[in-house]
Amino acid sequence: MKLSDLTQRAGEWLRGSGPMCEVVISSRIRLARNVAGFAFLSRCSAPDRQALALRLRDSILAAELAPKVLYVDLADAPELDRQLLVERHLISKPLAVAEGARGVALSPDESMAIMVNEEDHLRMQVMRSGLQLDEAWEQINAIDDSLESRLDFAFHPRFGYLTACPTNVGTGLRVSVMLHLPALKLTGEIEKVFRAAKDLRLAVRGLYGEGTEATGDFYQISNQTSLGKSEQQIIDEFRTLIAPKIVEYEIHARRMLLNERTSALDDRVFRAIGLLRNARLLTSEEVLFLLSHVRLGINMGRVKDIDINTVNELFLLTQTAHLQKMQNKKLEGDARRAARADYVRTRLGAG
Amino acid sequence: MNCENCKKPATVHVVEIHNGKKIEKHLCEQCAGKLGAVPMKGHTPINELLTNFVLQHAGNVHEEPAACDQCGITWAEFRQQGLLGCAHDYEIYEEQLTPLVQRAHEGATHHVGKAPKRVGSGDAAQKRQVILARLRKDLARCVEGEDYENAARLRDQIRELEQKQDTTA
């Protein structure tokens, strides 16, 4: 398996299948772990960091966590590859631009990604399409067990698994669901969701996590409390309460748009299709914004001639690094925007 | 009684023993200060007294450790960057961390949930972790100071301990 194989398709989590997939794009669970006896990364000397990276890589590969695991040494990887991994949600932006020994281990279907030497020594994540938190937990728990039989994780009887930042201490668990909420955005009710999330101590972030804008009406909602509740408790809250509630709001808003503002809804959807099929220069933000409306139109049965999978793939393949990787050359400015518009027109079969 | 120095009323009475001989001095406040007979302190302003009083009762008088003996991080450094330096910080700064942790986790102070299954999480393993961390720090210092002889010795010790860790897994 090579990194360039990834540019041809979307990962499993973006396949648009799974429960509640009309609104829930993906479910993600991550665990933060540190190896006992090594300082946390902000205080880790360069040789220790190197030794740690090697040791973690060997432990991960020996654990045979997936049929074929690809380990990418990020200190050696070109910038474009690192950006590609960020766009695919396989590594974080901070890890992409960090310095020193670091890496990521991936399963071929991209459901598993284990970051090495990020903020914590290990940041493991499992991603699934739709609302599949129990399945994701089962997988990541097995990964954790397997690594734990090979490594000594820093653990405190009172604080639980120890992390560099005390906000992740305890379970080291972060559950997040990526939601597509275009109707709540159009009806202006999204603010209510934000307020409710805040009251429930949940964080709302954009498509690419911390500090990113909510482009294309995608929102990541995640827990902030990792101590004092069991893993199952945190997951159950998401699975039975939080996610279904927000999905219900969004479906309600979609129904309202359909019944009371049909022309306005159709206008949005078909304007977006018109632009995507005819534009000659497109920025990635504009594509996300327009695809979001097309996706809404398909999910509501307003658009029949575009496949949902095409739209899901375009969300990813029109991003800057993907575009350049596919064309196998560096593209900037208008050349990049033109290449993006060309690619969109080819995929949507018009213009 | 008047001050021996200036004949103002004496308010400070000092008894000193010099070579087994008792010497008594009677001085006024100003002369006592000038002659260094007593450490002079200006009047403590009432607000300072109150602050000290409040701090004492808020439990803030417990001095925090100067720095972590393993990773070297100070509490102020942690507050500035938001990241701890090593697992040991959770021990030595436990008192300072507890209210922060509580605020971040809806008042929780104790972990509920998964714990490592392996034998390695016992006391012996924890001790070994502390030793390993110290050895690694010493090693880094030796390498920095180009003391390769000791560095080689430390590297062997680390390797030996790590192997022990692997076999107990």
- Report the pLDDT value the prediction gives residue B165, as an integer from 0 to 100: 59
pLDDT for A183 equals 95
Task: Quote the tokens at residue A263.
Answer: 């022309």
The whole-angstrom separation of Cα A10 and Cα B94 is 45
For B114, the closest chain A residue by CA position comes to: A171
Instruction: Output the pLDDT for position B30.
Output: 77
Q: State the average pLDDT over residues A291-301.
A: 95
Query: Residues with Cβ < 8 Å from A19, sequence gap 6 or more?
Result: A130, A131, A132
With a cut of 90, say whether residue A182 has pLDDT above it.
Answer: yes
What confidence tens digit (pLDDT) does each residue in A111-148 have?
999 999 999 999 999 999 999 999 999 999 999 999 99
Per 3-state DSSP, what percentage of chain A is helix, strand, and coil (rounded to 5)?
50, 15, 35
Q: CA-CA distances (angstroms) from residue A171 to A174, A228, A232, B115?
A: 9, 8, 10, 9
Question: Per-residue pLDDT averaged across A2-19, rounded?
Answer: 74
Among the ranges given (A4-8, A61-65, A115-119), the one the predictor scored with the smallest mean pLDDT: A4-8
pLDDT tens digit sequence for B74-104: 999 999 999 999 999 999 999 999 999 999 9
Residue B9 exposure: Cα atoms within 13 Å on the Cβ side: 1
The pLDDT mean for chain A works out to 92
Inter-helix orientation angle A320-327/A333-348, to 10°: 80
Q: A199 to chain B nearest CA, in Å?
A: 11
CA distances to A170, B63, B91 from B96, rounded to whole Å, are 17, 10, 10
| Kind and range of the H or E run holding A218 | strand A218-223
What is the model's pLDDT at position B119?
44
User: Measured between alpha carbons, how far is B131 from B17 in angstroms, rounded to an integer?
Assistant: 51
Over residues A314-343, the mean pLDDT reads 93
pLDDT top residue among A267 and B120: A267
First-to-last C-alpha distance (Å) of chain A? 36
Residue A69: predicted pLDDT: 93
**Inter-chain CB proximity A228 and B70 less than 8 Å:** no
Mean pLDDT of chain B, nearest integer: 77
A240 contacts chain B (CB < 8 A): no
DSSP readout, A14-82? GSS-STTTTTEEEEEEEEEE-BTTS--GGG--HHHHHHHHHHHHHHHHHTT-SSS-EEEETTTS-HHHH
CB-based contacts of B121, cutoff 8 Å, min separation 6 = A152, A155, B115
- Which of A42, A149, A155 has the CB atom closest to B169's CB atom? A149
Of B82, B97, B116, the CB nearest to A155: B116
DSSP 3-state assignment of A287?
Answer: helix
Instruction: Sort out which chain B residues have CB atoms less than 8 A from A166's CB and list them.
Output: 84, 97, 100-101, 104
For B26-85, how does the pLDDT look when each residue is reduced to its tens digit (9 = 90+)?
A: 888 777 777 666 554 445 566 666 665 555 555 554 567 789 999 999 999 999 999 999
Question: What is the spatial distance between Cα A209 and Cα A216, in angstroms, rounded to a whole number?
Answer: 14
pTM recorded for the entire structure: 0.79
B131-148 confidence digits (pLDDT tens): 777 788 788 888 888 888
d(CA A37, CA A35): 6
Region of A301 (left: φ > 0; alpha: ψ -120 to 50; beta: rest) is: left
Asked if A204 and A184 count as a contact pair (C-beta separation under 8 A), the reply is: no
Instruction: List all residues 6 or more positions away from A72 whose beta carbon is below 8 Å from its beta carbon.
Output: A3, A81, A85, A103, A104, A105, A106
Does residue A160 belong to the interface with chain B, where contact is any CB pair within 8 Å? yes
Q: Which of residues 172-191 of A touch B (CB under 8 A)?
A: 173
Whether residue A306 is predicted with pLDDT greater than 80 in this model: the reply is yes
Q: Are B96 and B74 in contact (CB under 8 A)?
A: no
| Best of B93, B102, B105, B167 to mutate (most A CBs within 10 Å, chain A) | B105
Give the length of chain B.
169
How many CB pairs lie under 8 A apart between chains A and B?
A: 145
Q: What pLDDT, in 10s, does the model give residues A141-151?
A: 999 999 999 99
Q: Closest by alpha carbon to A154, among B42, B70, B40, B95? A: B70
Give contacts of B111 with chain A, Cβ < 8 Å. Answer: 156-161, 169-171, 227-228
Judge: A152–B143 Cβ closer than 8 Å, yes or no.
Answer: no
Render pLDDT for A16-59 as a digit per residue (tens, 0 to 9).
778 888 999 999 999 999 999 999 999 999 999 999 999 999 99
Q: Say yes or no to pLDDT of A168 above 80.
A: yes
pLDDT, one tens digit per residue, over A329-339 is: 899 999 999 99
Average pLDDT over residues A297-325: 93
